[in-house]
Chains A and B, each alone.
Chain A
């Protein structure tokens, strides 16, 4: 840090550094900030995506809260995102700990568990679609498990579980690798000392492993929740939002309403609320998780 303020670098070169960042700044502003601002602007209009439009004040925002389809999308998205975030973090941490243990073929297994992350989730979703609609019912019938003989994707109350399974299957790959990277920063001596003191595996996990990978846990929780709240591909290939609109996520609704439904202004208002929700959740989550981390 102190080296950065050395005078001969500090004084002589600024201009060329400006040339290095200005094009990026302009292009970033054009493709990110301008669309963001124009989105917020159109959220106060009745623009359909084409043709005439006029200002409608806050009526888009007021209507959002009375729209069952919107409320349903938020309900589904949150249920899905919270369940998936918890599931993916528990599973990934468990698998990462196992992969970090004294097992054979470590690199090979590590390689296998990462595979889902390199596959297109849309395409994998089509495979899971077949698995849920044909294979699982056939197996359930052979085993006499009545509850599973109809496809879980066909039921309005159960379809979201299919989306959770697919999403966790894929997201676990990346989270396992992050946790593994975290676990490898912990020296083996700590565990040796702990076992000499007679600490059980669970005690070692609670007192050594978990506190020491706190930063990785925080990052994974925040990022998974944020990613799951934006779920899109999985739903397109698995349920297309159905049955009915039971698995219609916020992203899918914005896409459908904005592109196909002539609700450009209305859905951008939805997107603005969505932005505020995501930012608020990320900050709350960071605060809570960091405080917890510090208290250890």
Chain B
């Protein structure tokens, strides 16, 4: 698969920079029917979001009908009400803390473990370790669910810190898979040169290898961020203190209170979806090419 990755990399990393002549030739041959078809298909993605926005701005008595009608005079108070009802700032802070913590810890530890494994795959112990971690990819979460909850409760990890730790540990299987493939494509010469200069393996990893992992770190970081931010089951079972609730969990817990008031509920959904959506709007190209890079490895 490495060969395919190399040929894909330049195209995905430079989406806007083909040679000017190639661009002109492409433009001449644009298939407008296909463009229109893709545009219509993309509506399926946008329609639910549109529905969420218009509903969030209505008053309850405007609801009726199909729900797609535009609101008569936007009711922004819905957002204010949702903000306080779901204790939005607290949930946002929790989820941000867990996500940032999980991403940082994952990048720092998983890459290091992968490095040790990648450079020693010819040794039985490391080969076994590699297979041991990868095998966990096949274990469905529900089988460990109940025991993990007991364990974290006993260890006092039924909080945000526990979540950070669990995302880092459970991400290991997949991340090692991606990192090891990438590290093995880095030539050994650099490390050997540093070794003869008397650098320790730690120094070599942090000063030479870790910076070289940049693109893979981006991929792993993006995937970990999306996972930790949107995950629902793990916070649902792990967190015992209501004050530790994350965004999706808060939506679930407060769902009952919205039963009669859809506009406020939808305002709170939008509040919960907005932070990552905003980040995505600005980092869209980078995020998508990061995910594509991970898949060709």
Binding site for B on A (CB under 8 A): 3-6, 8-10, 12-14, 16-18, 20-21, 23-25, 27-28, 30-32, 34-36, 38-39, 42, 49, 95, 98-99, 101-107, 109-124, 126-128, 130-131, 134-135, 138-139, 142, 169, 173-174, 177-178, 180-182, 184-185, 187, 215-216, 219, 226, 229-230, 232-233, 236-237, 250-251, 254-255, 258-259, 264, 267-268, 271-272, 274-275, 278-279, 282
* Interface pair B129/A109, CB less than 8 Å apart: no
* Interface pair B169/A31, CB less than 8 Å apart: yes
CB-CB under 8 A for A4 and B188, given A118-B276, A135-B51: yes
Q: How far apart are the CA atoms of A239 and B202 in the complex, in Å?
A: 52
* Interface pair A21/B113, CB less than 8 Å apart: yes
**Taking the nearest CB of chain B, how far is it from the CB of A234, in angstroms?**
10
* Interface pair B140/A230, CB less than 8 Å apart: yes
CB-CB under 8 A for A119 and B273, given A17-B120, A25-B129: yes
* Interface pair B142/A250, CB less than 8 Å apart: yes
B237 partner residues in chain A, CB cutoff 8 A: 255, 259
* Interface pair A32/B277, CB less than 8 Å apart: no
* Interface pair A123/B251, CB less than 8 Å apart: yes
The main secondary structure of chain A at its interface with chain B is: helix
**Taking the nearest CB of chain B, how far is it from the CB of A3, in angstroms?**
5
* Interface pair B251/A4, CB less than 8 Å apart: no
CB-CB under 8 A for A130 and B67, given A102-B31, A185-B8: yes
Contact of B140 among A112, A123, A180, A274 (CB under 8 A): A274
**Taking the nearest CB of chain B, how far is it from the CB of A289, in angstroms?**
15
B139 partner residues in chain A, CB cutoff 8 A: 32, 36, 275
Q: How far apart are the CA atoms of A254 and B233 in the complex, in Å?
A: 12
B293 partner residues in chain A, CB cutoff 8 A: 181
B126 partner residues in chain A, CB cutoff 8 A: 17, 21
A268 partner residues in chain B, CB cutoff 8 A: 143, 146-147
A36 partner residues in chain B, CB cutoff 8 A: 139, 143-144, 147
* Interface pair A282/B15, CB less than 8 Å apart: no
**Taking the nearest CB of chain A, how far is it from the CB of B278, in angstroms?**
11
Binding site for A on B (CB under 8 A): 1, 4, 7-8, 11-12, 15-16, 26, 29-32, 34-35, 37-39, 41-42, 44-46, 48-49, 51-52, 55, 63-68, 109-110, 112-113, 115-117, 119-123, 126, 129, 133, 136, 138-149, 151, 165-166, 169-170, 172, 184, 187-188, 191-192, 195, 200-202, 205, 226, 229-230, 232-233, 237, 247-248, 251-252, 255, 262, 265-266, 269, 272-273, 276-277, 280, 284-285, 287-288, 291-293, 295-296
A258 partner residues in chain B, CB cutoff 8 A: 145-146
* Interface pair A32/B136, CB less than 8 Å apart: yes
Q: How far apart are the CA atoms of A4 and B34 in the complex, in Å?
A: 49
CB-CB under 8 A for A112 and B42, given A32-B144, A123-B251, A131-B67: yes
* Interface pair A104/B146, CB less than 8 Å apart: no
A98 partner residues in chain B, CB cutoff 8 A: 34, 37-38, 41
* Interface pair B35/A3, CB less than 8 Å apart: no
A130 partner residues in chain B, CB cutoff 8 A: 51, 55, 67, 262, 266
Can you identify 14 A-B contacts, CB atoms within 8 angstroms? A3-B188, A16-B201, A21-B117, A23-B109, A27-B169, A98-B41, A102-B34, A113-B45, A126-B255, A127-B48, A130-B55, A185-B7, A230-B142, A259-B149
Contact of A103 among B35, B133, B265 (CB under 8 A): B35
**Taking the nearest CB of chain B, how far is it from the CB of A113, in angstroms?**
6
Residue of B16, B262, B284 most packed against chain A (CB within 10 A): B284
